[in-house]
Amino acid sequence: MRFELNANSILTGAFSASEGQGEAVLTLSAEVGAERNIEAAARLGMRREGASVVRLEGENANDLAAQAVRGYFHGAFRISKDAIRGLKDVYAQRDALCDYGPGALCIDCDSDVAEGIRAGLTLARCEGYARMLGTLPNNFLHVRQMADYIRHMAADCGLTCRVLGDGELKMLGCGGILAVNQGSDAPAALAVLEWRPSDGAPVALVGKGVMFDAGGYHLKNLDGMNGMQSDMCGAATVTETMEYIARTGASRPVIAVLPLVENVISAKSVKMGDVITTLSGRTVEVYNTDAEGRLILCDALTYAQRMGAKDVADIATLTYGCQSALGDETGGWFCNDEAVSRSFERLIGKTGEPFWRLPLHERYHRALKWSEVADLGNYAPGYGAAASTAACFLEEFIEPGTRWLHLDIVGPATRRGGCDAECKGARGFGLSTLVGLVQA
């Protein structure tokens, strides 16, 4: 059978099927592995012209079809410069912002793989939206615009949504979120999404949403500030993971907690040496204003646990130490539960997204307990092991009995240079992994 798809397919889900096959330019098989299959299909998508024929061989044909579709449209994706011109409403114009070009994908297979194609199209569509959100300039996507996007998406997909503003955050005592956003003229927000198909404790997904990170008073240099509109890729990925769940279904309840701020300089900005009280009640001395992501995440993690979550995963562009250790292609992961760790190891072999485990240890916790005036410092000066100390800072806010997974994606969150399989900008990295995690 032959299945034919084009840019309209990713927006509508429609594709055609017919008898007959042709000469393939690419063959995918399960033996090669998901990561290599997706990358090969993405190279075809990068052409953005003509019809590319992919042949599926061997077992797991529906999985291969999903990989072909996801990869092809990942490669074809561009953000539309024309749509950015005069942009007013990101959600209303999101399909125009995602440009997949005039090319077409033909999938040849001896069996019916319509189910896999549909799954691949939905995943590719949500991944494209996450990439669009992570790439848009900050002046088009600030805290308010991101909160509006989340509200509209939730209403369209049947998710419950609540957005807490500055007043509610102050009443709750979310000192971490409020401190990071102190320098901004615009209020912070905490967006909460819920998918409740059944009773029971939810799985919680937490995504870092620093809409722009100048570093605060520890100001980044020119190279360091370049691309900092993408410091909200964790929140973008979680937002679109929730859309995928709502459109395809998940048997388990899932909640998303998304702290939205910007980290900039003004007379009101948080300063080195300030002590803040977090939602958990624990106090933190700010040593480095550019170690802000952990300050908003600790409040979000506490909030998720107060909503009853016993399984919590967070995803964040958190530390350049993780990028230094693992490079631009691989994310770091940390976990406090060995059963969850074994399950996650199996999962990442199937998603096509490379992750590598890094350590949590008491020695890293001790490195954060140097302050004379607070329970913790937000940084471990002179210690090194930046990814592990940041992860252990977050672990300080994980309650006994909570199974917790932390994904640090500074390296693979964005494509910084040229590549033959994708354009520059946000990559939607982690979405497939989070989908697999909640659907396991």
Active site residues: 220, 294
The residue type found at 36 is R
C-alpha distances out from residue 101 to 84, 124, 129, 294, 362, Å: 16, 14, 15, 38, 51
Long-range contacts of 382-388 (CB under 8 A, 24+ apart): 384/321, 385/321, 386/319, 386/320, 386/321, 386/322, 386/324, 387/318, 387/319, 387/321, 387/322, 387/325, 387/332, 387/358, 388/334, 388/358, 388/359, 388/360, 388/361, 388/364
Q: What interhelical angle do 34-45 and 61-76 show, nearest 10?
A: 40
For residue 385, give the nearest of 335, 304, 321, 337 by alpha carbon.
321
Longest Cα–Cα distance in the chain: 74
**SS3 category, 414:** strand
Residues 6+ apart with CB under 8 A from 282: 375, 376, 396, 397
**For tokens 């019809």, what's the residue?**
51
Residue written as token pair 């299945």? 3
